[in-house]
Structure 1
Amino acid sequence: MKLVTLISDNKALSNIALLFARLSMAAIFLLAGLNKVQYYDGNAQYMASSGLPAELLPLVIVFEIGAALLIITGFMTQITAIALAGFSIVSALLFHFNLGDQMQFIMFFKNVAMAGGFLALAATGAGRFSVDHKILSK
Structure 2
Amino acid sequence: MTDVMNLAGRILIAFLFFAGAIQKVVDPAAAQTMIASIGLPVAFIWPIALFNLVAAVCLVIGPGIGRWALIMAVYCIFTSWFHWQLRADPWQVTIMAKNWSIAGGLLILAAQGPGRFSIFR
Task: Give the TM-score normalised by structure 2.
Answer: 0.90
Counterpart in the other structure of 1:121: 109
What is the Cα deviation at residue 39 of structure 1? 1.1
Counterpart in the other structure of 2:35: 47
Ranges of 4+ aligned residues in structure 1 off by more than 4 Å: none
Give SS of 1:29's match: helix
- 1:37 matched to 2:44? The reply is no
- Flag the structure with larger Rg: 1
RMSD (CA atoms): 1.6
Counterpart in the other structure of 2:71: 83
Q: Could you tell me the percent identity over the aligned residues?
A: 31
Unaligned runs of 5+ in 2: none
Q: Residues 69-107 of structure 1, C-alpha deviation per residue, up to 9 Å, x if partnerless?
A: 0011142101100110010000001x1112454311110
- 1:19 matched to 2:7? The reply is yes
Which of 85, 92, 100 is equivalent to 1:98?
85
Task: Give the TM-score normalised by structure 1.
Answer: 0.79
In structure 2, C-alpha distance between the alignment counterparts of 1:88 and 1:43, rounded to whole Å: 14
Query: Does the Cα contact within 8 Å between 1:19 and 1:126 map onto a contact in 2?
Result: yes
User: Larger RCO: Structure 1 or Structure 2 (Cα < 8 Å, ≥ 6 residues apart)?
Assistant: 2
Q: Residues 25-51 of structure 1, C-alpha deviation per residue, up to 9 Å, x if partnerless?
A: 111000000111111345323421343
Aligned length: 120
Query: Does the Cα contact within 8 Å between 1:37 and 1:61 map onto a contact in 2?
Result: yes
In structure 2, C-alpha distance between the alignment counterparts of 1:125 and 1:67, rounded to whole Å: 15
In structure 2, C-alpha distance between the alignment counterparts of 1:98 and 1:88, rounded to whole Å: 16
